[in-house]
Amino acid sequence: MASGELTSTAYITHHLTNLTFGKHPENGWGFAHGGQEAAEMGFWAIHVDTMLWSVGLGLFFIWLFRKVAVAATSGVPGSLQNFIETIIEFVDDNVNSIFHHKNALIAPLSLTIFVWIFLMNLMDLVPVDWVPYAFQQMGVEYMKIVPTTDVNATLGMAFAVFGLIIYYSIKVKGLGGFFGELAFQPLGKWMLPFNLFLEIVGLLAKPISLALRLFGNMYAGEMIFILIALMPFWAQWLLSVPWAIFHILVITLQAFIFMVLTIVYLAMSHDHH
């Protein structure tokens, strides 16, 4: 077990703790030394590792796709160009089959969501001790490398989508049309309070479900990898390889679900009731 003299509980706690920077009520600005101190820093504390890996993977996505786009050829394409074109066609097919309106933002947004979330999820396949151990040698106490196991990251993406839903609902239908759908559907104007309750709950459920579905699945996957790492060496190899192969499906599926639901919700925001 790579956790040294740590107990199992301490090992799990360590691997599930983010590198947090904020202002502590007693110690002032700095990095938290444990989950309790991070909680005491309050709402405005920043999970530095989540920001580092999510932004870094986003920049890698931009660099890779730009590199392929600049070098693209109409002749016999290379394997990387083939792979990228397959992803783009896959996303484009999903957008065309779900979104039947004119909006130049939807396809690139969907591509960004799918690839970015996939890359963040993919970090879950890196052995759980490698990166934290490397950073500990540099004096960094905590380092979580899977941004989607942080509910702050998944909620951030979900509320960005929610903002687009509200924006396009008002832009396409007008302010009156948007509030009219909330107030008068599905049971007519005589049931206005009940309509408002149903529609507002349904509206708020969209970002919450987007965020918690992605977070819950990735957090559970990370937890299983950590539990496997606590086992004897032979058991780690026996269990980690099959779980990693299965988890590749989970990683891809969660990115796909987030992308598809985003397309569906934005299509609904363009539809008139």
Q: Which residues of 72-90 are buried (b: 16+ CB within 10 A; e: fewer)?
A: eeeeeeeeebeebeeebee
Alpha-carbon dihedral of residues 156, 160, 162, 167, nearest 10 degrees? 160
* Radius of gyration of the chain measured on its C-alpha atoms: 22
Structure tokens at 270: 């363009």
Measured CA to CA, the distance from residue 255 to residue 260 in angstroms comes to 9
Distance CA 153, CA 32 (A): 19
Q: Are 52 and 65 in contact (CB under 8 A)?
A: no
Q: Which residues are catalytic?
A: 209, 213, 217
Tokens found for residue 98: 């779900």
The encoded tokens of residue 258 equal 């987030």
Whether the Cβ atoms of residue 142 and residue 19 lie closer than 8 Å to each other: yes
